[in-house]
């Protein structure tokens, strides 16, 4: 048995994340967030949802959010089939 981890860049192996941000951006930011879907919620917050291939890519996305100066509300890994269901991510959940 090996102690080495198998890392993959296969998009089919990517995890689906939801990143909730206070405030919202216009549609011109879609390209900057690459494969993520930008959804403006009823309360005015923004939800970025999509595949993230690894932790380095996740940290890159979080750096983009930081660079925008917008408050980060939550980061959640969700089941691929549940990514579009609003109950997956409770609105009052915060990042610790």
- pLDDT of 62 reads 95
Q: Assign 27 a pLDDT band (cuts: 50, 70, 90).
A: confident
Q: Mapped to the 3 state alphabet, what secondary structure does the chain carry?
A: CCCCCCCCCCHHHCEEEEEEECCCCCHHHCCCCCCCEEEECCCCCEEEEEEECCHHHHHHHHHHHHHHCCCEEEEEEECHHHCCCHHHCCCCCCCC
- Domains defined along the chain, listed by start: 14-80 (3.30.70.260)
pTM, to two decimals: 0.69
Range with the largest mean pLDDT of 8-17, 25-34, 84-93:
25-34
């Amino acid at each position: 048995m090996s102690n080495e981890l198998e890392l993959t860049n296969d998009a089919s192996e990517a995890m689906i994340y939801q990143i909730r941000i206070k405030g919202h951006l216009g549609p011109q930011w879609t390209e900057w967030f690459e494969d993520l879907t930008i959804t403006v919620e009823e309360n005015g917050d923004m939800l970025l949802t999509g595949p993230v291939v690894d932790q380095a890519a996740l940290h890159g996305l979080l750096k983009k959010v930081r660079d925008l100066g917008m408050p980060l509300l939550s980061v959640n890994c969700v089941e691929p089939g549940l990514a579009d269901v609003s109950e997956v991510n409770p609105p009052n959940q915060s990042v610790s």
